[in-house]
Amino acid sequence: MSTSIANLNFLFNWRPYQAKVLENFSSHIDDNHFHIVAPPGSGKTILGIEIIKRISKKTLVLAPTLTIRNQWEDRLQNFFTTDCNFTQVSFNIKEPSDITFTTYQALHSFYKSFEDKEAYYNFFKKHGIEVLLLDEAHHLKNEWWKCLYNLKEQHIQTVVALTATPPYDSDNSEIQKYFKLCGEIDDEIVVPDLVKEHNLCPHQDLVFLSKPENQEINFIAEFRLKIALFVTDILKNTEFISFLKQHRFYAKTEENLEELYKFSDFFSSLLIFLHESGETIPIEKLEVLGFDKKETIEFPSITHEWIQILFQHLLVIDRKNLVEHETYLEILEKRLRELAVFSKNKVNLVGNELLYKSLSSSPSKLKSITTIVQQEQQNLQDDLRCVILSDYIRKEYLNCPQSEIKEIKKLGVVPIFHHVRVSTRDKTSLAILSGSLVVFHSSLIAKLGLIDNIQNYNYTPIKSDTEFVILTSTTASKLTIVEVITKLFEIGHIKILVGTKSLLGEGWDAPSINSLILASVVGSFVTSNQMRGRAIRIDNQNPHKVGLIWHLACIDTTSEFGGRDFEILARRFNAFLGINNNNNTVISNGIDRLQLPTNFIDEDIQQQNKKTLALSKNRNLIAQRWENAVNNGKGVIKELTFYNEKNKQYPQLKKLYYQDIVKYTVGEIIIGLSFFLPEFIIKNFNILLQKGIVYFLFVLSSALGLTFGYKIYKSVQLYLYFGLVHKKIDKMASAILESLNRLNHLTTPLNEIQIKTELLAKGNVSCTIHGTNRYESTLFIKALDELLQPINNPKYLLIKTNWFRKKLKLNNFFSVPEIFSARKKETEIFQTCWNKHLGKSKLVYTRTINGRKFLLKARLFHIHNVNNELTKKNIVWK
């Protein structure tokens, strides 16, 4: 007898974090969306089936692969029925049942088979399918998104989305599409939850650094030198300066205001360039930006980014309007192409992609891999289960002679295999596993015979080392080669497995992995997180497993911050939640938790690598840190950090940013007075005796004014401008919270919510919100981030004003967060809350000509704009 969806019943006990998700389910499903983020190993599939059961409507379940599709039916029968008797399932989308399991690819093919798309929608209406469940929702591609989104709009009532990693690093339009289909994230199961419940093992990310080889360093240095010479030359080029001055934005500014404000970046770059080249900018050009004749104007220094904006506009965006100058533009374009900074209609003077391609695939990473493997062999001995993932196979190097291995200059499966093979003390445990190439040591043929009949396979020795053979299977084998090699790896006959991320990065399961080396340079947050997930799963055969995930970065030693390869790696770490390397262990995201160098020019990379290798030796310490951290914290909270020390543009303010402004200036004045007063009194004691105390005090006050007056004036000015930074942020946070409450964005009572703002080292400030649900904390952090980020193109601006500011010609510009900008009435409520907590302000609508003037001034020219600092959104377990 079959069972209806509503009668499905989970046969086991829910894990605490699963129970918490289900407890909140009814409140989240009110908008007919349920979007959950959960890492591999958290039981997403089980949760998905329970959600289907609770909704109790006909459901279409979509998975990225056939293997994952089949897992859904397996989990349903084995975890929700006593004798696998649920029959209302289908794997055929053309013949749907109560629950239909299929793939995104199959649905897309089905969609394309309908010439009349109305018939496609009617098919689902006819069969009464009202629920879409999207598994591994981050896989959604453009073509898949369309057939799903249209179906949702036309008919589907409810969308349930499950993912391990939302595609945060896609472009903005892709992210918007993703959330348009899946809805906002309702709940999240995080890694600490799973480690605490022993569903994931303790683990640590380690970054191993390498320096570019001489050839690469020379390439980078030559590129930077060529660009520097070009910039120096173009700033003195009278023909180019004359060409810029003829541009309509400069020559006829007043006649082109509307277009000028639309392309404010370009106009600013034009003025900054002309100023840097020695031209005097007429005041009427600056009045367009909102400056008056009495105002002292400090131009930002010219940078490669400003010149990039300038040429991008001239050669691409505005080119159709510069037809009369086309011959000259072709000369400029040719020059930039020769410098390799203009390609695919994009100007890039920084050379990000060009230099990244060189560094990310640097052969120096091959040496890093062999060093790591040797260290891990020493650390774990026979217990080592190491997987090395790369993007490409590079079969052309398979039969490379022994003498030429060190000359291989490309990263890939085969080059890694060769480098490890010639450097390892036990090459019999080394193998390659990819979709089209499988190689293992010939001594393992006998071991393979214990798993499958050796006659089912062909063995072809490789020329570079005949001890290794290429393994291919015959049709007689019931097991796939992947299954056979995986079993040999799990048993421990293979200890080092080199493969492609496409085969082993997702879906492949080998719980014994305790060391993962990511030599992949092509990919995203999503793929990085999926690959990382291989190493952090628990191993029932090894309850004390601690997984290490090794990340490789080739450092651009000519760049203070390490260059593009390190920058991209650091960005990916925003998706990884793990323990830090401090004695006071905290779980958070971001690369800062690893305490890597902040300045790579002066840092000894070799010394840093020694620290990393030493850390890898003590897996017990890593396990202990996890235990301490998960037990000391209750759950994840969102945190916004405001980084003062990253202000590189305006060094005159940097000194004051590093410390609380008042403490700094008062301290400085007190120290000055402690030296000044005794000396003054001794030298002028005769005046006190001859002319009396009143005259003496007059002389003293005059001397103090002359000596300390300007310093006190500047301190007061800066204090009035910046306030106490951390207290100002606390007040901003309070204004946002009150606004969210007054506009009914909060369901949590206000008295249960607490904001904590903390002054950190170097003048950095962190702000966290406690007591809210995930959605509310997301709204809060997003709004605060928009207030503190550099001004982009907000609908409304707040200008902080008072009598002192007007007298001192001071302004603070702030973007009104998007959530308060939809309607003017809501914006005014935010302004009221702002005025209550931070004092009077002026509200400016930036979609008018006058408003654009304020916006342009706020964005690009006000040297004292506090918004030029950077912020970072963190997730912290506390």
Q: Residue by residue, what is the 3-state secondary structure of 657-672?
A: HCCCHHHHHHHHHHHH
- Pair type for strands 438-441 and 577-579: unpaired
477 plus 593 within the same structural domain: yes
Q: For the segment 65-114, what is each residue's pLDDT rounded down to a tens digit?
A: 888 899 999 999 999 999 888 999 999 999 999 999 999 999 999 999 99
Q: Does an H or E element contain 134, and which?
A: strand 131-134
Query: Would you state the pLDDT for residue 435?
Result: 86
Count Cβ atoms within 10 A of the Cβ of residue 300 and give its class: 0-12 exposed, 13-18 middle, 19 or more buried: middle
CB atoms within 10 A of CB 509: 13
Contact between residue 868 and residue 650 where contact means Cβ atoms under 8 Å apart: yes
> Residues 411-447: pLDDT tens digits?
999 999 999 999 998 999 999 999 899 999 999 999 9
CB 722 within 8 Å of CB 805: no
- Is 656 within a domain? no
Give mean pLDDT, residues 119-148.
Answer: 87
User: How far is it, in rounded angstroms, from Cα 188 to Cα 186?
Assistant: 7
Residue 648 has pLDDT above 60, yes or no: no
177-231 pLDDT, tens digit per residue, is 888 889 888 888 889 999 999 999 999 999 999 998 888 888 888 888 999 999 9
Judged against a pLDDT cut of 80, whether residue 160 lies above it is answered with yes
The Cα–Cα gap between 315 and 96 comes to 55
Number of domains in the chain: 5
Residues 383 and 476 in one domain: yes
User: Rounded to 5 degrees, what are φ and ψ at 793?
Assistant: -145, 60
Cα separation of 194 and 606, whole Å?
35
Residue 360 pLDDT exceeds 90: no
- DSSP character for 200? B
Q: Which of 25-39, 51-65, 559-573 has the highest mean pLDDT?
A: 51-65
Q: Which of 426-440, 699-713, 722-736 has the largest mean confidence?
A: 426-440
Q: Which of 36, 385, 41, 13 is nearest to 200 (CA)?
A: 41
Query: Of the given ranges (124-138, 488-502, 520-534), which has the lowest mean pLDDT?
Result: 520-534
Is 647 domain-assigned?
no
Q: Which of 7-11, 318-322, 595-599 has the lowest mean pLDDT?
A: 595-599
Last residue in a domain, options 721, 738, 771: 721
Q: Is 299's pLDDT higher than 90?
A: no
Determine the 3-state secondary structure of 777 from DSSP. Answer: helix
CB distance 815 to 789 below 8 Å: yes
- At residue 169, the pLDDT reads 61
Residue where the block lists tokens 């990819």:
434
Q: What is the pLDDT of residue 300?
A: 78
Give the tens place of pLDDT for each residue, 790-843.
787 899 999 886 655 555 455 578 899 999 998 999 999 999 999 999 888 999
Residue 602: predicted pLDDT: 59
Q: Are 456 and 489 in contact (CB under 8 A)?
A: no
Listed ranges 376-390, 525-539, 649-663; the one with the highest mean pLDDT: 376-390
Q: Is 664 a residue whose pLDDT tops 90?
A: no
Both tokens of 669, joined, read 């004045």
pLDDT of residue 679: 61
More confidently predicted of 52 and 287: 52
The predicted structure's pLDDT at residue 661: 46
For the chain, the residue count is 878
Which of the two residues, 526 and 439, has the higher pLDDT score? 439
Q: What is the pLDDT of residue 449?
A: 92
> With bands split at pLDDT 50, 70 and 90, how would you rate the model's confidence at 265?
confident
% of the chain at pLDDT higher than 90: 47
Return the pLDDT at 51.
96
Which residue, among 588, 591, 549, 587, has the nearest Cα to 570 in the 3D structure? 591
Closest CA to 300 of 700, 767, 864: 864
Question: Does 721 have pLDDT greater than 60?
Answer: no
Q: What CATH number corresponds to the domain at position 167?
A: 3.40.50.300
Confidence band for 559, pLDDT divided at 50, 70 and 90 = confident
**Per-residue pLDDT at 232 exceeds 70:** yes
Specify the pLDDT at position 682: 64
pLDDT category at 386 given cuts 50, 70, 90 is very high
SS (HEC) of 218-268: HHHHHHHHHHHHHHHHHHHCHHHHHHHHHCHHHHCCHHHHHHHHHCHHHHH
The b/e string for 650-671 (b: 16+ C-beta within 10 A; e otherwise) is eeebeebbbbbbeebbeeebee
- Give the CA distances from residue 221 to residues 215, 299, 342, 343, 556, in Å, rounded to whole numbers and listed in that order: 10, 29, 19, 21, 10
DSSP-derived secondary structure letter, 182: H
Separation of alpha carbons 20 and 14, rounded Å: 9
Q: Which pLDDT belongs to residue 821?
A: 93
- Kindly state whether residue 646 falls inside one of the protein's structural domains: no
Q: Looking at the predicted structure, is the pLDDT value of residue 681 above 80?
A: no
Taking the CA of residue 65 as centre, how many other CA atoms within 13 Å lie in the half-sphere pointing to its CB? 8
Tell me, yes or no, whether 124 and 240 share the same domain. no
Distance CA 112, CA 132 (A): 19
Residues 529 and 399 in one domain: yes
Query: Are residues 167 and 137 located together in one domain of the fold?
Result: yes
The one-letter amino acid at 321:
N
Residues 25 and 51: beta-carbon distance below 8 Å: yes
| Range of weakest confidence among 53-57, 173-177, 327-331, 336-340 | 173-177
- Written as six digits, the tokens of 767 are 């702000």
Least confident of 558-562, 860-864, 874-878: 860-864
Out of 358, 392, 418, a domain closes at 358
Same domain for 616 and 709: no
136 vs 366, higher pLDDT? 366
Let me know if residue 195 belongs to a domain: no
How many whole angstroms separate alpha carbon 201 and alpha carbon 19? 21
Mean pLDDT over each residue of the chain, to the nearest integer: 84
Classify the C-alpha dihedral 388-597-725-292 as positive or negative: negative
Q: Is a pLDDT exceeding 90 seen at residue 862?
A: no
Q: How far apart are CA 304 and CA 310, in angstroms?
A: 10
| Shared-domain flag, residues 328 and 397 | no
In sequence order, the 6+-apart residues with CB closer than 8 A to the CB of 282 are: none
DSSP annotation of 127 reads T
Q: Who contacts 157 (Cβ-Cβ below 8 Å, separation ≥6)? A: 32, 57, 130, 131
What backbone phi and psi angles, to 5 degrees, belong to 864? -95, 15
Q: To 5 degrees, how large is the angle CA 596–CA 368–CA 555? A: 45
> Is the pLDDT confidence value at 2 over 60?
no
Q: Are residues 323 and 366 in the same domain?
A: no
Q: Are residues 540 and 457 in the same domain?
A: yes
pLDDT, residue 301, reads 82
> Quick one: average pLDDT of 603-612?
89
Could you tell me how far CA 22 lies from the centroid of its own chain? 29
Across 269-297, average pLDDT: 82
List pLDDT tens digits, range 759-790. Answer: 776 667 889 998 887 778 888 998 999 888 87
- Identify the pLDDT of residue 690: 64
Residues 530 and 381 in one domain: yes
pLDDT at 525 exceeding the cut of 70: no
Q: 643: burial class by Cβ within 10 Å (0-12, 13-18, 19+)?
A: middle
pLDDT computed for residue 656 by the predictor: 33
- Rounded to 5°, angle at Cα 542 from 539 and 545: 80
Q: Is residue 353 a part of any domain in this protein? A: yes
Q: What is the pLDDT of residue 581?
A: 87
Residue where a domain stops, chosen among 633, 651, 675? 633
Q: What percent of the chain is predicted at pLDDT more than 70?
A: 84
What is the identity of the amino acid at 774? Answer: R
Q: Collect all residues with Cβ–Cβ distance below 8 Å to 67 and sequence separation of at least 6.
A: 507
Q: Are 159 and 51 in contact (CB under 8 A)?
A: no
Q: Which residues share a beta bridge with 203?
A: 547
Q: Who has greater pLDDT, 698 or 335?
A: 335
What are the Cα distances from residue 157, in Å, to 124, 133, 236, 792? 11, 11, 64, 37
Alpha-carbon gap, residue 220 to 227, rounded angstroms: 11
Q: What is the pLDDT of residue 659?
A: 39
Model confidence at 604: pLDDT above 90: no
Sign of CA dihedral 507, 508, 514, 516: negative
Q: Which of 480, 487, 482 is nearest to 511 (CA)?
A: 487
848-852's contacts with Cβ under 8 Å and 24+ in sequence apart are: 849/257, 849/258, 849/261, 851/797, 852/257, 852/261, 852/264
In this predicted structure, what is the pLDDT of residue 356?
72
Lowest mean pLDDT across 149-158, 603-612, 831-840, 847-856? 847-856
Is there a single domain that holds both residue 149 and residue 164?
Answer: yes
Q: How confident is the model at residue 705, as a pLDDT? A: 61
Domain membership of residue 532 as a residue range:
203-213+362-633
CA angle 657, 590, 136 (to 5 degrees): 145
Q: How far, in Å, are 267, 334, 740, 860 from residue 857 at the CA level? A: 12, 34, 29, 6
In a domain, residue 42? The reply is yes
Q: Please check whether residues 349 and 373 belong to one and the same domain.
A: no
In this structure, of 45-59, 230-244, 788-802, 837-851, the range with the lowest mean pLDDT score is 788-802
pLDDT of 1 > 60? The answer is no
Helix axes 172-182, 142-154, angle to 10 degrees: 40
Residues 6+ apart with CB under 8 A from 175: 166, 167, 168
Report if residue 652 sits inside a domain: no
812-815, strands of its sheet edge to edge = 812-815, 796-800, 841-845
pLDDT of 632 above 70:
yes
The pTM of the full predicted model, rounded to 2 decimals, is 0.80
Can you list the pairs that 452-459 forms with residues at least 24 positions away whose Cβ atoms lie under 8 Å?
452/477, 452/478, 452/479, 452/484, 453/477, 457/481
What whole-number distance in Å separates Cα of residue 530 and Cα of residue 41? Answer: 11
For 211, other C-beta atoms within 10 Å of its C-beta total: 17
Kindly indicate the confidence band of residue 684, based on its pLDDT and cuts at 50, 70 and 90. low
pLDDT score, position 324: 94
- Residue 688 predicted with pLDDT over 60: no
Minimum mean pLDDT range among 503-517, 651-665, 721-735? 651-665
Cα–Cα distance measured from residue 185 to residue 33, given in angstroms and rounded to the nearest whole number? 9
Assess if residue 788 is contained within a domain: yes
